Structures are given as structure tokens and as C-alpha cells.
Structure 1
Amino acid sequence: MALDAEGALNRTLMETLYSVSVILSRALDVKQAPHEILRVLEESAGLTRGMISVLDPESGELVVNAVQGIEPEDFEPVRYQSGEGVLGLILEEGKTLALPAVSSEPRFLNRLGIYERRLPFVAAPIHVGGALQGVLAVQPNRLDDGLLPVRARFVEMVANLIGQSVKLSLDVAEEKKNIAEERDTLRRTVRAQHGFDNIVGHSMGMRKIFEQIRMVSKWNTTVLIRGETGTGKELIANAIHYNSPRARGPYVRLNCASLPENLLESELFGHEKGAFTGAVAQRRGRFEMADGGTIFLDEIGEISPAFQAKLLRVLQEGELERVGGGRTLKVDVRVIAATHRDLEDAVDAGKFREDLYFRLNVMPIKLPALRERLEDVPEIGRHLLVRIGQMQGRALNLTEAALTRLTQYTWPGNVRELENCLERAAVMSESGHIDADLIRIDRQREVAGGAMSSAASRIDLEDPSLDERTRVIAALEQAGWVQAKAARLLNMTPRQIAYRILTLGIEVKQF
């Protein structure tokens, strides 16, 4: 009979242990679990009057944290010092204690007044990472039946589970803290990299730009950044986002000219599984990723009229549907767009929707070309040289003669061309000292003062009599051998024109 009773008790305790493990697996924060664990111990295993005490790291005392059937606000805080009472004894020795009856231990204090003196009592230490951090105490609901050691081992097992859960909770909390600290550090770094200090210039035109950025950054207004290629439109967009109330939110960027229309829709709006060949899983689009933050749409003037209508709905209503889906999704996104094109001409020509133009052109910011602010060239040159020097791991400097040489050129490729010129000069300098002789500027571009040769400018790229190689070379000449510009002239993507250059054996001119 005794063996049958022990077997039945073991089965009950194992089922209870499983229930306790389920409770602990659901809650990484062990503070949520104590009352539920104590309830299961009472209802499933007959271990009543459960109590969990935790160690106060400041005082070193055990503090009663949870009592079965009693809400925390219904009892006064109870503490036990090391060696004080039965719980204090466990705190001192770190060993499980099993009493056949409470009355058999004169040191039992029963400060809460909930334990029956004639019933057994079991208390086990809760260890976290090898250190005692608490005590689990229970009272079987029947007189000692000779199976107290079985119940004591079970209580130890539950205490060990609690300890492991507490350790996991502490590890998760520490990891969250480390991630939060790393995130904040990265945010500070990114803000410093993309703040106003990264936009250089003191000319009248740039002072106006700075003021516009400061004013518009405070609000969620849609911004349209205008300017030639290489004037730094992305820098302006970065500064607006990282100095706005949305700086803690996501910042998502996309160059609209880099993708064909069918991929652009999927990239911006996402797609459902099976929406098209290759859509093996559901995918969120850039607008969903930017929810609560900012999306920067570069080269917005390159999108087709058909896609403009789809984009307009998102800007007007804040709603979109994934490709292949029928569910309408709401998004809260601030839009910053940029283009080098004359959108007014595009509207007049019917190539750009007027309603989309007005939706985008809420706060226009027009960036001056570098030739319009040559007084900023020395300051920009020094700023770029510091960045190039950091990449090369050495100090670089420009002589006055080199600075004079830089200010004598009109820079049709704007800041991007200036940066390329300086990087080329840095590569050619053994000492890091850059004089005028290392400032190499293409003579043809310098004489022409623009981005195209006169011969190339006379070629009609739409002429059907042109062979493909001649057409591509003419487009490259007209674009100053900037492949992205040439691709737009030919209504190609940068990837397509790069493929044509490779297959046609065209030697790319370097400036």
C-alpha cells in the first residue's frame, strides 16, 4: 500500500511539475509567475499556504514576496534576517528544511499566522547562478504520512525551476539593457554623422538651406529636395530626419531610378506569398518598414505615371495594399522626396501627375549647384579631405595653391565630382601633402565648363538610324560619363547601362 501511495504521489507531483514549467516558460519576467505557481501547487499537489521570499540585495534579508491566497497589499512586509526563524536558517545554511509538524521546531516564527502547527512544513532555497536568492515554502494539507522526503525533493525541483527562470529573466533584462545602450550610442553616432555639421558651407544660399532645414525638421511636413546630381540631396534628407521628432523611428531610403516599375511597387508596398513568380513568402514593403518614421524617395521624378497614381494614395490617405493582397494597411510615414528633374516641365508635358506634384511640393528645398557657391569650395574641400584621410588612416592637407586651383573650376558634377578629384589626389600623394599639381581636372570638361562635349550634344538619342554603341556613347558623353545620368537619358536602369557598356566593349572615361 505504501508503495502504491508513493507511486500515486510521484505521478501527481510530476504532472504538477510540468504545469509549473509551462507557467515559467510563458513568462520571461518571473514577477508575473509566483502567484500562479503557488496556486498550482495547492490545487494539483495539495501543497497549501505557499510562500515565496526573495533576497533584498541591499539589506541581505529575506522579504516575503508572494503568499498563496493573499494579495500583496493585504499583508505587511515581512522580513527575515540570516539565522532568524526557519527561513532565516535556510538563508544562513542554504539547505532544504522538511518538518513533520510545525510544532516540532521551536524556532518557527509563523509571522504571517497562516501555518497550522500540526501539519508538516517544507522550505527549499532558490538559487540563481549558484547564489541563494530566495526561499520557496509550502505546507502539505495532510498530516505526515511518511512521504515527506518525496514532497521535499519535489519542492527542491520547483525551487530549482524558479531559480533557472529568474536567471533567464535577469539575463534577458541585462541583454535588453545592453541592446538599449548600444542602440542609444548608435543613434548618437548617426545623428552626429548626419547632423548639420556634415553639411558644409557659409554662402548665402547655404545659410538659407540651413534655416529651411531647422524649420521643417520640427514638423511632419512632406519635403521635396531639388537640385542637380551630386549636390548632396541625401545629406539634406538625413539631416531633416535625424533632427526631427521621428529621429527615434525607422529611416528607410530608396532610389526610385534603381528599380523597374514592377519591382518598385513590390519594394515600396510589399507583396503577399504567391503574388508573382518568386514570391515564396510574404514581404513587407519600405512604407511598412518606415511606419512611425521617415521614408526618403530619391529620384522621385523617374517613376512612371501609372505608378504615380499608386504612390499618390499613400501620400493622401496613408493607406496601401501589398501586391497580390486585398487588405488595406494604414501607415504613419513622413515622406522626403528628391529629384534633379524639372517637375514643372514634366507636369506640363503630361509625364508627371499634377496632383502628385502638389502633394510632394509642400516644402520645397532647392540646393544650389556648386558652381553657384564657389566660395564654399575651400571649406568643402577641407571637410572632404578629413573624411578621405580617415578612410586612408592618415592626415591629409591642401596647399593654398591647390585650393585656388579647386575654386577655378565650375564642377559640373558638383560635390561628388569634387570628392572624386580629392580622393584621386590623395591616392597620388605619398606624404599626404596635396599641392596644385595633384589636382587633376579633365581638360575637355574644364574648357567646356559643362558636362557634355559639343559634338555629343548635337546627337539625337532618339534617332533610329543610330546603332546601339553610338547611342550609348553619346548618352555617356552628354551625361559627362556619369552612368546613372546616361541611363536616365536612355530610359534604362543603372544596371542595364552597365551591362551595355560591358557587352559593347565601351571604355569608360574617368574624370
Structure 2
Amino acid sequence: MDEVRFSDSHLQDLTCLCEITKELASSFVLNECLAKAMSYLTDMKSMENGTVTIVNPITGKLEIEVAHGITDEAKKRGKYRIGEGITGRVVASGEPIIVPHISEEPLFLNRTRSRGEKVDPNRSFLCVPIKDGKQVIGALSVDRIYENGFGDQATKDLQFLTVLSSIIAQTVRRIQIVNEEKERLRTENLKLKRELSEKNRINDIIGNSSRMQDVFEMVHRVVDSNATVLLRGESGTGKTLVAKALHYNGKRKDRPFVSVNCSALPETLLESELFGHEKGAFTGAHERKIGRFEHAEGGTLFLDEIGEISHSVQIKLLGVVQERCFQRLGSTKSVTCDVRLVAATNRDLEKAVSSGAFREDLYYRLNVFPIYLPPLRKRRTDILLLAEFFLEKFARENDKSIKRISTSAIDLLIQYHWPGNVRELQNCIERAVLICDEDAIKGIHLPPTLQVSEPNKNGKPLSFATAVENFEKELIIDALKKNNGNQTKTAKYLDTSLRIINYKIHQYDIDAKKYKL
């Protein structure tokens, strides 16, 4: 067998490729391994300014991934359209290009300005495409000074770079696949965690209705982003709870959650409360005060009743939303802030914009990701769920052994239109718990507004006879529940005869079997 001999240059090429291949194969961070590869080119092959340029899939432009010996500022300048300059032409054509003398080539743009004003006349530029299969994904380029003139060595160098570019392409593809798989697993892991936590359920927010499931889904979509959220809905629908859920379930949960009720403060105080003031900024400002934006640094600032702020505060707030910086009252120094904004309102902001009461530009800045909270009357399936939650809470707080809500009371709760929404329901149950001395909340324990809020079908209040019937029916059902549907025990419990109980059960069409355990 004939012996194969390699020249010194061939051995040098093989050694360089071997070292670069080991570096590329052992890394999962693309720019780090490519930077080391470009360093090897300089040290072992005298190839300067080794640069890997990759096509940005979003912008479609060529951007420098790594460049040896070039500053970060120069890298930012090194952006090209496909077909622009030497590098752009290589990517567009998929063919390598050699520029024998950079100083004489008008197509050489030198955007990085890394070679200075006067370029060595012996400096050449070699650029080869990086191909993933048939697709060109970028380019590999180097500078080389040929002291003995441009000749066969340049062709050999181009062949070497072409081999290296194919190794780089495989590395780029491998790392992309690994990163895509990591992202898929991360997303899948988050999805599984959320599914395990009761199908998008958020702590402290009660609701199984389809409308609330939509709210939970919207919250989960935006919880980890920095996007400004605008919570829309009537008063008492739970906007504050959702704002807290956005904070405490997101990546800022370990930072402050700061809340400001914009309608509770006059204009002058609100501006000072939000942005702070310097000593002597106005009468009574005896010392510097840090505003809520600074208190919320790194966390979330919740601006409740945002629709009530004045025009002057709107203008200043617009500047903060746009630039993420502001000035304290009485100061000319700008303060930058990293704050996630969540705003809430029960006003019709579109109407306020039309009438000129609310700035249109601020409206669009705040309305990046709106979440609409449904009124309680539009989620009636949640009423009993919420009522039982409040019953358990207030019974525990007041040390009472109230176990349930009677059927008649449930009917009144379900039929009521709840203009005050969840807040009104909470107050209603708290009142009922305080005045109830039995083990069940009955209709008589509910506020008078619920007793007369729903007239009969003719629009008239309930008659005395009907009210008595409802009360009797409630008593009998309650007694049947306590006695497991046993009518004899029920009659004894109510201190009446079995015959009367049987008669009333049939009269009110009560199914006693339903209450047997």
C-alpha cells in the first residue's frame, strides 16, 4: 500500500480543523464556540477578522453572530441586506468570493470600520456561504495578508474555509435543534403545571363559568410578559384580584406589588403620590418623597380607576408609559423605572376618548392587552360557588357553625341581578352570617333588597299567601335535609303531625327521596 504524505500546510489545515471541530462539537452555546473557532483561525492560519454572519429569520437581514477582534459597536454596524456588499452577494448567490485587494474593491463596504482608513494593499478578503442543505443561512469571511502576492494559497484557503463552513452549518443546525427541543420541553412543562393546577385555576379567584375560564386563559397568556394590561369591567367584579394574580403568578412575584386608587386622591396629591417630589417642590413639601413608581421598581404598579385621572396627570403618565422614565415634582433629573403596569377602570374609555375626557394616545398605550371581567349576572353558575366560599370564610372568622345555604336562600341569590357584583355578594353573605343563629343561611337572613328584588311574573310583589308558602316550603325542605328524608322524624322535628307533613309535601311537590343519604 502506498504511503500517504502530507505537506506542512496540509497538516496545519488538518490540525486547525480538528481543534475547531472539537470546540464546535462540545458546546451548546453558538456564539461562544464560534468565537473560539475564529480565534483558532487567527492563531493557526493567520486569518484575521474571522466573522460569521447569519440571516436573521425575522428581519431577513444579515447580522454578525461573532467577529474576532471587532468591538461590539462595530458588530452592530455590520448589518447587510441579502445581495448588498460582498457578504450579501455570497449569501444571495450561494457561491464563494475572493477579493484580492480590499483597498481596490468598490463593492467592499467595510461597515464595521474595523480595518481603519488606510487598508493594506496586500490584504485580501475571502467569503464563503454557510449552507444548511441547499439553503444558505449565512456566510463565513476572513481577511488574509499575502506577503508574497495573491496566488495558489488563496485558492487553498478558500477550499479550507468551504470545509469549515459546512462544519459550522452542522453546528448551527444541531444547536438550533437542541434549543428548539429545550423550548418545547419548557413550554410543555409549563402547560402541564397549569393543567395540574385545576385547568388554568388561579388562586383566590373563584369561578368555573365559561366566562371566567376565558379570563383565566387570558391571564395565563400575559402573566410572564412585560405588556401593559388594562382590566375592564364593572365595579366589584374582581379587577384587583386579577391584578394581584398577574403579579404573584408571574416572573416579578418576588418584587413589590404597589396599588394606587387614582379616584381616591385629588390631582395635586395623585401626581406627587405617583412620581414623588423634592423638598420644597410645593407648600408643605418638607422633605423628599419617593413615589409609587419608584416603590414598585422591578415589580408591578396597579393603577385602579385609571379613567378618573386629570389631563395633566394623563400627560405625565403617557411619558412614563412610553419612555419608562419620569421626573419627581420640583426636579429636572429623570428617573428610569422597570415597572410592569396594570391599569383598571369601570368607565367606558372609548366614550371618554370621543368626548375628550381621556387622551387617545394614552388609551392606546394602556390598551395593549385588555382583559374584560364579566359582571356577576353574566356568570350565574358561579354565584353559589362564591356564596359557599364566603360562607365558609365568614363563619370561620366569626366562630360560627353555619354549614350550608338553604334552598330558598339559594333561589334568591340566583335570581338577584347583583348590581354590586362579587363585592355585593360578599357583603350579603357576611351580613347573613352575622345575624344567623342556626346551622343554615335561610332567605330571612338575606338583605331586604334580595327579598323584594324579584317580583312575580306579572311584575307585582309577592302576595302574603305566596310568601307564607315559600317560608313553609323552606322549613320543610330544611327539616327533611336534617332528618335524611325521614318524614316521621321531620314531623317530630317541626312539632307537627305526620299527616300535615305528608299533605304539605304533596301540596308543594317536594321530593322527600332527594334528601335521603
TM score, norm. by length of structure 1: 0.48
TM score, norm. by length of structure 2: 0.48
